Amino acid sequence: MVRSSEIDEEKKSDKITKEGTKNEKGMRVGSRYQAEIPELSQDKVVDDESTCLEPLLVWSPHDKINDNKLEEYLTTAKDKYGYSIEQALGMLFWHKYDVDKAKDDLKNFTPLPDEWSMEDRVVFDQSFHSYGKHFPRIKQQLPDKSIGSLVKYYYTWKKNRNKKSLMDKAEKREINMINGLFADDTDGENESSDSEYEPNEKKLKTSKNGEKLSSPTDNKPSPMLSTNCVNCAGVTSQMNSTPRGKMCVPCYDYWRRTGNMRPKDSEDQISLYHGPQHKLKRKPPKGMQLKQEALIEVAQAHGDSHIRPLEVELINLRRQLLTDRQVIQEQEFILSSRVGKCRPPEMNQKLNPRWTNEELLIAVQCVRRYGQDFNAMAEVIGNKNESHCRSFFINYRRRFNLIEILREYEKENNVPRSNDIWDEEDAESIDNNLTHHQDQSHPPPLRRQVDHIQITESLKGPPPLVNNM
């Protein structure tokens, strides 16, 4: 028994090892693990139409057909049979550009008529203005339409319906003001948005007196959709939307508390609550006058004939303005370049006490032009300051006869002399002092130079300097 049990265990272990080698995960290397790939056969062509998804060609231009003939065909297909341009061209392409055959075949494939008639469109428009986007109530007015078709038509209708122009709004506002009413300034501005007026969805209520209120479906929309209160006709800047129309604040509070319309005096039909009317007055832009005759004339069907010439004139004026700006910029650029050539070079010269012949001649002319204005003389010369110019006048007064030049300047310009510092007697006294001082100082034999000389108290000018005497 022991021997047989050992043999059974050995068989089980061998079986486990064999299964383990078969189920063991790893990379299969060798020819027996490779797939057999057949050779390429060039004789057979694979053409599987089920896997080939090609678009269907419905139109391709061709020189065979004339443009005028094509336009005539498209007009007939659209106006007479209600085809779209793509459908008409597809029919023509199907008949291989044969216009006659395509025309004969148009009546056989007439598109389905629109399920929305003109009466249905008018009813939908009126119902939408009464109930807003409450499509179950709109469906009560159009029982043959489903809610899905109503929603679909709503999104196409709100994008394609006509808009009122500003001129039409201004004309309507002017007419209503003449009739004693104030037109709604926001009429038509929020028509295409998804946040249109949604009526109150509350159920029937009972007032305190036991009177049963009528359902919102029984209330017809008020014809006065403006800034006037639907109950008291009062004009306010703040209006509250209700199923019965727009109400002012007092009427709205009374209606919300009691459920009834606020009573009004029979003698005075206008509410005492008017609100700030100055906010409702809107004036046209400066220079623009709104007249009823002009607005009626412009708001006609051929209003573009009045606006188009003005637009063309405006475009021409803008073009002329751009041209003038360009010419002015070019002239400014040319002038700036020419002015740069005429400007003197920047004088960043260092101060130099020595005088050249050119500077001496310029200084003499400055005395003839500016007199004793040594500051102006220094600005003209450039590399001299006011003290240098004053020293020049003192040192070179006899060599260039500056005293006579100064007197001529004073006579020509009627300038009175502030002092007699440059009289002949004073000049002689200055020379004597200079000579006496030179004898004491023993200057060099070839050049005499005096730096500072003490002048008498009667002289009020600066200390004289003698250079190159």
- pLDDT tens by residue, 364-381: 999 888 888 888 888 888
Q: Give the total residue count for the chain.
A: 469
Return the pLDDT at 225. 41
Query: Domain total for the chain?
Result: 3
In a domain, 318, yes or no: no
Q: Which tens digits make up the pLDDT trace of 247-287?
A: 888 888 888 888 788 886 544 444 444 444 444 566 777 77
Shared domain for 97 and 122, answered yes or no, is no
Q: Are 214 and 229 in contact (CB under 8 A)?
A: no
162 located within any domain: yes
Query: Do residues 213 and 206 lie in contact, with contact meaning Cβ atoms separated by under 8 Å?
Result: yes
Domain boundary among 96, 113, 130: 113
Structure tokens of 396?
A: 């070179």
Shared-domain flag, residues 102 and 125:
no
Contact status, residue 189 vs residue 164, Cβ threshold 8 Å: no
Q: Which positions of the chain have pLDDT values less than 50?
A: 1-2, 181-226, 266-279, 420-421, 425, 430, 434, 436-469
Whether residue 26 lies inside any domain: the answer is no
User: Which DSSP helix (H) or strand (E) runs through 175?
Assistant: helix 166-178
Residues 168 and 133 in one domain: yes
Cα distance between residue 9 and residue 14, in whole Å: 9
Q: Are 203 and 217 in contact (CB under 8 A)?
A: no
Instruction: Retrieve residue 158's tokens.
Output: 């709100």
What's the token pair of residue 245? 């129309």
C-alpha distances in Å from residue 340, one per residue of 328, 330, 347: 18, 16, 15
DSSP symbols for 83-139: --HHHHHHHHHHTTT-HHHHHHHHGGGPPPPPS--HHHHHHHHHHHHHH-S-HHHHH
Query: Hunting for tokens 């709205």 — which residue is that?
Result: 252
DSSP state, residue 228: B
Question: Of the candidates 177, 123, 174, 173, which has an alpha carbon nearest to the alpha carbon of residue 153?
Answer: 123
- CA separation, residue 250 to residues 225, 254, 270 (Å): 18, 6, 13
One domain for residues 165 and 140:
yes
- Let me know if residue 100 belongs to a domain: yes
Q: E-assigned strands of 389-449? A: none
Among residues 367, 397, 413, the one where a domain terminates is: 413
Judge if pTM exceeds 0.85: no
CB 241, CB 197: distance < 8 Å: yes
Helices and strands counted in the chain (H then E): 16, 2
Q: Specify the CATH number for the domain of residue 363.
A: 1.20.58.1880
Strand partners for 466: 450
pLDDT at res. 222 = 40
Asked whether residue 297 is domain-assigned, the answer is no
The enclosing H or E element of 241 equals strand 240-242
378 and 385 in contact (C-beta within 8 Å)?
yes
Residue type for position 174: E
Same domain, 109 and 140: no
| Residue 212: DSSP 8-state | B
Distance CA 228, CA 245 (A): 10
67 and 96 both lie in a single domain: yes
What pLDDT, on a 0 to 100 scale, did the predictor assign at position 348? 62
Is 156 exposed, middle or buried, given 0-12, 13-18 or 19+ CB atoms closer than 10 A?
A: exposed
The parent domain of residue 150 ranges over 118-175
Q: How many CB atoms lie within 10 A of CB 408?
A: 13
* Within-domain flag for 60: yes
- CB burial of residue 74 (10 Å; 0-12, 13-18, 19+): middle
Residue 78 domain-assigned (yes or no) = yes
CATH code, domain carrying 161? 1.10.10.60
On whether both 109 and 60 belong to a single domain, the answer is: yes
- Contact yes or no for 272/231 (Cβ under 8 A): no
Which pair of structure tokens corresponds to residue 22? 């078969």
**% pLDDT > 70, the chain:** 59
Question: Does residue 384 belong to any structural domain of this protein?
Answer: yes
pLDDT for res 229: 81
Co-location of 125 and 152 in the same domain: yes
CA distances from 353 to 288, 345, 389 (A): 72, 21, 9
